Amino acid sequence: MVYAANDMQRVGLVGGGVIGTGWAVRCLAQGLDVSMTDPGDGVEERTRTDIERIWPVMEQVGLGEGASPDRFSFHPTIDAAVAEAQFVQENVPEREDLKTDVIAEISRHAPSEAVIASSSSGLLPSALQSRANGPERVVIGHPFTPLYLLPLVEVMGGEQTSSETIIAAAGYYKRLGMRPLHVRNEIEAYIGDRLQEALWREALHLVNDGVATIPEIDAAITGGPGLRWAFMGIAMGWHVGAGDGGMRANMKHFAPTLELPWTKLEAPPFTDRLDELVGQGCEDETGERDWREMQARRDQTLIKIQEVINEYWYPEDEDGWPPITGVS
């Protein structure tokens, strides 16, 4: 038995940083109460500063009833942060042993009906829930950054996760203005990160082999397929672009090239040379621009992109987004 999505008013955040702050801003912007804990030095001050900095962006996007940064509180311990929470989001570093320990501690102090979600980007929930009290309420809720603007959150249960937890977590994320994607089969790195990693490995090979620089690789994405991917994805872009024959014709046409050894799915050795090439390439592309200004411009661009998609593409109930399935 877990809280229903509409009954979730207080959110406990265990772990700050970019992800924890992103969740805090999302929740505060929808009028929820947020209780955070993190043992790091200066985390409370940095989090409050970041909330203040990001808040005008949320005002621009639109605030829910009761939205206010004043609903944020910081606590010295996990038990104090989660004691009254109906939903808890864990955001500690990506180490299975650490996350398992923290989730177990959360489960001892949070209400027995509270959903416990991990922001893990690749670990298996069956392992993370293995020592929790009430493992059926532990689930993955994997976001993408900037979390306060990007709608995708991957929801995946482990061997002991209940269908009720999946449904409640998905409903809660919808309340935050997000779009949950149910990963129905337990797998490392889920869906989004697997696709990103495949592209990143290929990019590293192109850099390592001297074929392209980082600015050239980014240009090949932002000026071409990336524009389609923002609202059509990879498959639908090809399907629509193929005309009457659709993807079936596209597959027949390009099937022979799929058997050619064009790509390298295994990552190249991570050497000092490759590290320098990638780092220097990013610095060359950045030039004299300040990262803070670039983040602000990124946020405004993402807002405008989503506004254009909402205006010209199909509404959410017609755009083909997969429903939550595989739960009873």
CA-to-CA distance for 165 and 113, rounded, in angstroms?
10
- Structural domain of 102: 5-182
Asked if residue 296 is part of any domain, the answer here is no
Asked if residue 120 is part of any domain, the answer here is yes
Q: Would you state the structure tokens that stand for residue 188, as one six-digit string? A: 């490392």
Sequential pLDDT tens for the chain (328 residues): 999 999 999 999 999 999 999 999 999 999 999 999 999 999 999 999 999 999 999 999 999 999 999 999 999 999 999 999 999 999 999 999 999 999 999 999 999 999 999 999 999 999 999 999 999 999 999 999 999 999 999 999 999 999 999 999 999 999 999 999 999 999 999 999 999 999 999 999 999 999 999 999 999 999 999 999 999 999 988 899 888 889 888 888 877 787 777 777 788 998 999 999 999 999 999 999 999 999 999 999 999 999 999 999 999 989 999 998 777 6
Nearest CA to 320 among 309, 307, 305, 304? 309
Residues 118 and 256 in one domain: no
pLDDT of residue 258: 74
How many domains are there within the chain? 2
Residues 165 and 47 in one domain: yes
Residues 206 and 270 in one domain: yes
Residues 131 and 241 in one domain: no
Residues 173 and 215 in one domain: no
Asked if residue 263 is part of any domain, the answer here is yes
Asked if residue 96 is part of any domain, the answer here is yes
pTM: 0.94
Decide: 22 and 36 in contact? Cβ < 8 Å.
no
Q: Tell me phi and psi for residue 311, to 5 degrees.
A: -80, -40
Asked if residue 317 is part of any domain, the answer here is no
End residue of a domain, out of 120, 151, 182: 182
Asked if residue 129 is part of any domain, the answer here is yes
Asked if residue 322 is part of any domain, the answer here is no
Asked if residue 320 is part of any domain, the answer here is no
Residues 27 and 160 in one domain: yes
Counting Cα atoms < 13 Å in the Cβ hemisphere of 23 gives 30
CATH number at residue 210: 1.10.1040.10
Amino acid at 52: E
29-42 burial code (b ≥16 CB/10 A, e <16): bbebbbbbbbeeee
Q: Would you state the structure tokens that stand for residue 133, as one six-digit string? A: 């009290």
pLDDT of residue 232: 92
Residues 102 and 20 in one domain: yes
Residues 92 and 16 in one domain: yes
Residues 160 and 200 in one domain: no
CATH number at residue 168: 3.40.50.720
pLDDT of residue 193: 96
End residue of a domain, out of 182, 206, 231: 182
Residues 151 and 261 in one domain: no
Q: Tell me phi and psi for residue 152, to 5 degrees.
A: -70, 135
CA-to-CA distance for 45 and 264, rounded, in angstroms?
44
End residue of a domain, out of 269, 287, 305: 287
Residues 20 and 106 in one domain: yes
C-alpha to C-alpha distances, 125 to 112, 115, 225, 236, nearest whole angstrom: 18, 13, 33, 30
Residues 139 and 107 in one domain: yes
